[in-house]
Amino acid sequence: MPPIDQITPKQASSSNTTLVPSSPAGPLVVALVYDGLCTFEFGCVAEVFALPRPECGPDWYRFATCAVSPGPLRALGGLMVTAEGGLALLRRAHTIVVPGWQGIDVEVPPALVRALRRAHARGARLVSICSGVFVLAATGLLDDTSATTHWRYAERLAERYPRIDVKPDVLYVDEGRILTSAGSAAGLDLLLHVVRSDFGPDRANEVARRLVISPHRDGGQAQFISQPVVRREADHRLPSLLDRLMTQLDRPTTVSDMAASVAMSERSFLRRFREFTGVSPADWLVRARVERARVLLEGSTLPVEVVAARSGFGSAITLRHHFRRRMGVSPLVYRRRFSLDASV
């Protein structure tokens, strides 16, 4: 078996599919295919770039698939797939999409790292969806840039690649020729952004209409993070304090009160608290109160003023300010989208 970056179309696939669509005009998008392929993420890429769209004109994208390793390859859901070409196909790609990855702890093959670096050096655009960012991170091309991934993986990405400025609360990041998206469905937001950048808002809107999704979503993946994140173990008094605060979010509290309750000086408390949670006490309280408001908005028909009081913000104005800042949308917009009772 020849090296994967030398696999020819016949070796990579036994089908009669042409390696690259014959349209000479459109930019070539190549999606990576790997063993354990994330079917949904790949489907998003194929839906946007591979589906024939005569309404978009003759300069629409061409699409091809590239095998990371010799096939046939497994895909989530019990499918077996074969790709159209090997890594040599990346030499011709205008855009390369990494639709997820086998796992965040799975090593990226050196041949793939080299191929992506070469493609980027000649001007290709690199795009990742969800865990696919770990493939781009392995190339070093994300060093000293911003990136995002699914909120579950954001901390691991930041720890493993400290030179990357990880943005855990956005749907996607555009760094010019390297673009990354958050969780799986956020890939659609990013891919529509790519279409918008290449062909303008009208075509992006046409694609979104056909997908029956919004052409542009407000807010970020912070909408889907279920609670303030605790980063590491620390003084046993702090977990008890946080548990207590979670039951008293509707009550006013100060740093002085918190420090006294755990028998620390304010200076020591502030340092220990940040070491434990990664944020200041004020930031932690805002996050926790926004989370409480989010739960109340989803699961009740309480007026916004009551939600504000029960979550500790005191007034609807204060709630709206912090909720929009954290979630990217107003409380009422969030309720319309996520409430268990869609009629509220």
User: What is the domain partition of the chain in residue ranges?
Assistant: 4-222, 237-338
Amino acid letter for position 273: F
Per residue in 9-24, pLDDT (tens digit) is: 333 333 333 345 444 5
Whole-number pLDDT of residue 2: 36
Whole-number pLDDT of residue 219: 59
Closest CA to 42 of 11, 68, 7: 68
Whole-number pLDDT of residue 135: 98
Structure pTM? Answer: 0.64
Superfamily of the domain at 237-338 = Homeodomain-like (1.10.10.60)
Question: Please, what is the Cα angle at 169 between 168 and 170, to 5 degrees?
Answer: 105
Whole-number pLDDT of residue 226: 53
Per residue in 119-134, pLDDT (tens digit) is: 999 999 999 999 999 9
List, run by run, the mean pLDDT of 10-residue segments along the chain (344 residues): 34 39 74 96 95 87 94 89 91 97 95 97 96 98 94 93 91 92 90 90 83 67 54 64 89 93 93 84 91 87 94 94 87 78 44
Whole-number pLDDT of residue 9: 33
What is the pairing mode between strands 178-181 and 125-129? parallel
What CATH topology corresponds to 4-222?
A: Rossmann fold (3.40.50)
Separation CA 298–CA 331 (nearest Å): 10
What is the DSSP secondary-structure string of 21-72?
-S-SSSPEEEEEE-TTB-HHHHHHHHHHHTS--GGG-TTSPEEEEEESSSS-
Separation CA 23–CA 242 (nearest Å): 60
